[in-house]
Amino acid sequence: MNSEMMFIPPPHPPPLLDADQVLQLARTGYLPLNLSPALQDCLHTLLKLGHEFFKESTSSKETKYPTAQGTELGYYLVENEKAYLTLRHQYGGDTTRALSLAASNFWITAASFLYRILSDLSTALDIPISVWDPLLDGCLSMPASLAETTPTLLRLFDYFPGAGAAEKHTDTGFLTLCIGTAPGLQVWSPLDSELQHSGTWSDVGNQPTVLIGKALQWLSSSRLRAGLHRVVPNAEGRRSAVFALRPSLRHPKLDLAPFGQPSIVDLVDVWKQIRENVFNVNAQSNIRKQQKKMLAANVYYKTHGHTDHGEASAP
């Protein structure tokens, strides 16, 4: 054999999920999974440094990671509930270098993990894996600067004992990896493939869990279901890491033909619509209430043709 023979690499990563796991994820929108040793190591370092960060004074945390873009970047405190740090790019200062490096290492390992799952789902739906290249441009490694950010993000949460929670919701992106240090994350298990409102809540304990988001449900024409979930209070408190793989907006014109839809859409507009139709479960309580009321009013208007000024709940 010619020692100089060139070998063509495989067109996509090796399968990570078996057929039953793919089916569960597609039908319920969630899947508990074990992490690779490499990802576990990255997670351990990240959570350790994150724990040290949350023990610092509020002024120190706000100085290192100023709140920006609403709740989408930096340190954010939700009074009497939780605090969290949203990272979307690397930080180069001396006081942030260690945590930034740990976040960057976790980011690239978690992104590779979710990309393999996305590839398995694509294979099951007969979607060419190459279609994800522009949709994930700049998302698979942590951006070096604010100017290079995409919607993809990494969050570290510190839920306060007996109070920290998140209302039921579905995520907006493609896939989310959720990992907690204690029980609190619950997922909705639908009893019928067509009835989202019929089912039961299940506690995943400390098991790492992957969730499908609204953007992936939309692209798949609802062949994949977004995973409904919530966080309930833990008497001892709870810390978690959440990596949300979201669409890159660097290539706005999206051809939907590979997804079985003969049209071209503006991905920026689609993403905006997805984001506008949800309320922010991580905002302050008064902001959440206001957002849910506005969402309910919009739904009522679309249904009845006029606004309803009474109290309402989000759908």
Those residues with Cβ within 8 angstroms of residue 79's Cβ, 6 or more apart along the chain or in another chain: 284, 285
Under the banding of pLDDT at 50, 70 and 90, the label for residue 95 is: confident
pTM: 0.89
Instruction: Note the pLDDT of residue 286.
Output: 79
Instruction: Note the pLDDT of residue 306.
Output: 38
- Mean pLDDT over 103-126 rounds to 96
| Cα 196 to chain centroid, rounded | 20
End-to-end CA, the chain: 65
Give the pLDDT confidence of 116-151 residue by residue, as tens digits: 999 999 999 999 999 999 999 999 999 999 999 999
Statement: residue 80 has pLDDT above 70: yes
Under the banding of pLDDT at 50, 70 and 90, the label for residue 58 is: very high
Instruction: Note the pLDDT of residue 285.
Output: 76
- Mean pLDDT over 194-201 rounds to 74
Scanning the structure block, which residue is given the tokens 């597609």? 26
Tokens linked to 279? 């309320």
Statement: residue 311 has pLDDT above 80: no
Give the pLDDT confidence of 210-260 residue by residue, as tens digits: 999 999 999 999 999 999 999 999 999 999 999 999 999 999 999 999 998
Q: CA-CA distance, 11 to 279, in Å (whole number)? A: 39
- Mean pLDDT over 48-58 rounds to 96
Give the pLDDT confidence of 2-40 residue by residue, as tens digits: 555 555 555 666 788 999 999 999 999 999 999 999 999
Under the banding of pLDDT at 50, 70 and 90, the label for residue 279 is: confident
* 132 within 8 A of 205, measured Cβ to Cβ: no
Those residues with Cβ within 8 angstroms of residue 195's Cβ, 6 or more apart along the chain or in another chain: none
- Mean pLDDT over 282-292 rounds to 78
Between 2 and 41, whose confidence is greater? 41
* 122 within 8 A of 132, measured Cβ to Cβ: yes
Statement: residue 275 has pLDDT above 80: yes
Statement: residue 262 has pLDDT above 90: no
Comparing C-alpha atoms, which of 161, 163, 169 is closest to residue 186? 169
- Mean pLDDT over 98-124 rounds to 96
Instruction: Note the pLDDT of residue 11.
Output: 60
The residues pairing with 176 across neighbouring beta strands, listed in sequence order, are: 211, 244
Q: CA-CA distance, 101 to 257, in Å (whole number)? A: 39
Query: How far, CA to CA in Å, does 174 sit from each of 73, 139, 237, 248, 255?
Result: 19, 11, 28, 11, 17
Instruction: Note the pLDDT of residue 277.
Output: 80
Under the banding of pLDDT at 50, 70 and 90, the label for residue 307 is: very low
Whole-number average pLDDT of the chain:
88
